[in-house]
Amino acid sequence: MCGIVGYIGKQDATQLMVNALRRLEYRGYDSAGVASIHADSLKVHKRAGKVADLEKLLRKNPGKGSIGIGHTRWATHGNPNDLNAHPHTDNSGEIALVHNGIIENYQSLRKKLLEEGYVLHSETDTEVLTVFIRSIYDKINDLAEAVRLALAEAQGAFGIAVISTLEPDKIIAARRGSPLLVGIGDSEYIVASDATAIIQHTRQVLYLNDNEMAIVTSEGYVAKTIDNEAIDSKIHNLEFDLERIERGGFDHFMLKEIYEQPSTFRDAFRGRLLPQDGQARLGGLIPVVEKLRRAPRIILAACGTSWHAALVGEYMIEMLARVPVEVEFASEFRYRNPVLNKEDVVFAISQSGETADTLAAVREAKLKGATVLGIVNVVGSSIARETEAGVFIHAGPEIGVASTKAFTSQIGVLALIALFLGRMQHLSQRDGVAIAMALKQIPEQIQYILDRSEAIKTIAHKFKDARNFMYLGRSFNFPVALEGALKLKEISYIHAEGYQAAEMKHGPLALIDEHMPVVFIATQDEIYDKVISNIEVVRARNGSVIAIANEGDSRIAELAEHVIYIPNTIPMLTPILTALPLQLLAYYIALERGCDVDMPRNLAKSVTVE
Quick check: 323 and 292 in contact, CB under 8 A? no
Quick check: 577 and 47 in contact, CB under 8 A? no
Q: How far apart are CA 54 and CA 75, in angstroms?
A: 17
Q: Give me Rg for the CA atoms of the chain.
A: 25
Segment 8-28 shows an average pLDDT of: 88
Quick check: 490 and 401 in contact, CB under 8 A? yes
Query: Active-site residue among 2, 43, 46, 50?
Result: 2
Q: In the prediction, which pLDDT does 39 show? A: 85
Q: What is each CA distance from 54 to 67, 82, 268, 603, in whole angstroms? A: 18, 10, 39, 20
Q: In the prediction, which pLDDT does 599 show? A: 86
Q: What is each CA distance from 534 to 32, 376, 554, 559, in whole angstroms? A: 49, 36, 17, 11
Which range of 228-232, 241-245, 474-478, 499-503 scores highest in mean pLDDT? It is 474-478
Q: How far apart are CA 260 and CA 483, in angstroms?
A: 19
Query: Active-site residue among 46, 170, 487, 605?
Result: 605
The pLDDT-based confidence of 375 (bands split at 50, 70, 90) is very high
Helix axes 429-450, 405-424, angle to 10 degrees: 170
Does pLDDT of 245 surpass 90? no
Does pLDDT of 284 surpass 70? yes
Sketch out the chain's domains with CATH numbers. 3-238 (3.60.20.10), 248-450 (3.40.50.10490), 452-600 (3.40.50.10490)
pTM: 0.83
Does pLDDT of 239 surpass 80? no
Segment 186-209 shows an average pLDDT of: 91
- The 10s digit of each residue's pLDDT in 515-540 is 889 999 999 988 888 888 888 888 88
Quick check: 226 and 214 in contact, CB under 8 A? no
Segment 230-234 shows an average pLDDT of: 84
Q: In the prediction, which pLDDT does 397 show? A: 86
Q: Which residue has the higher pLDDT, 502 or 244?
A: 502
Average model confidence (pLDDT) for the chain?
92
Q: In the prediction, which pLDDT does 504 show? A: 78
The pLDDT-based confidence of 562 (bands split at 50, 70, 90) is very high
Name the residue type at position 294.
Answer: R
The pLDDT-based confidence of 26 (bands split at 50, 70, 90) is confident
Q: In the prediction, which pLDDT does 79 show? A: 83
Does pLDDT of 356 surpass 70? yes
Does pLDDT of 6 surpass 80? yes
The pLDDT-based confidence of 64 (bands split at 50, 70, 90) is confident
Q: How far apart are CA 154 and CA 107, in angstroms?
A: 11
- Residue 122 DSSP class: S
HEC-encoded secondary structure of 435-465: HHHHHHHHHHHHHHHHCCCHHHHHHHHHHCC
Does pLDDT of 409 surpass 90? yes
Beta-bridged to residue 45, according to DSSP, are 34
Q: In the prediction, which pLDDT does 565 show? A: 96
**Active site annotation includes 342:** no
Q: How far apart are CA 70 and CA 75, in angstroms?
A: 16
Q: In the prediction, which pLDDT does 10 show? A: 92
Quick check: 391 and 413 in contact, CB under 8 A? yes
> Residue 578: helix, strand or coil by DSSP?
helix
Segment 312-336 shows an average pLDDT of: 95
Quick check: 448 and 441 in contact, CB under 8 A? no
Q: How far apart are CA 330 and CA 300, in angstroms?
A: 9
The DSSP string of 157-188 is EEEEEEEETTSTT-EEEEEEBS--EEEE-SS-
Name the residue type at position 427.
Answer: L
Helix axes 478-492, 304-321, angle to 10 degrees: 170
Among 610, 590, 606, 604, which residue's Cα sits nearest to residue 251? Answer: 590
The pLDDT-based confidence of 1 (bands split at 50, 70, 90) is low
Q: In the prediction, which pLDDT does 243 show? A: 63
Does pLDDT of 78 surpass 60? yes
Q: How far apart are CA 115 and CA 105, in angstroms?
A: 16
Q: How far apart are CA 599 and CA 605, in angstroms?
A: 9
Among 558, 578, 583, which residue's Cα sits nearest to residue 568? Answer: 578
Q: How far apart are CA 269 and CA 116, in angstroms?
A: 60
Q: In the prediction, which pLDDT does 347 show? A: 98
**Active site annotation includes 530:** no
Q: Which residue has the higher pLDDT, 272 or 2?
A: 272
Q: Are strands 273-274 and 468-473 parallel, antiparallel or unpaired?
A: unpaired
10 Å CB burial of residue 540 (0-12, 13-18, 19+) is: exposed
Q: What is each CA distance from 405 to 80, 267, 299, 330, 398, in whole angstroms? A: 31, 11, 23, 21, 8
Name residues whose C-beta falls within 8 Å of residue 475's C-beta, 6 or more positions apart in sequence: 315, 525, 526, 527, 571
Segment 309-313 shows an average pLDDT of: 98
Quick check: 336 and 368 in contact, CB under 8 A? no
Question: pLDDT above 70 covers what percent of the chain?
Answer: 98
- Residue 509 DSSP class: G
- Lowest mean per-residue pLDDT among 278-287, 386-395, 500-509, 555-564: 500-509
Q: Are strands 171-176 and 212-217 parallel, antiparallel or unpaired?
A: antiparallel
Q: In the prediction, which pLDDT does 244 show? A: 67
Segment 69-88 shows an average pLDDT of: 87
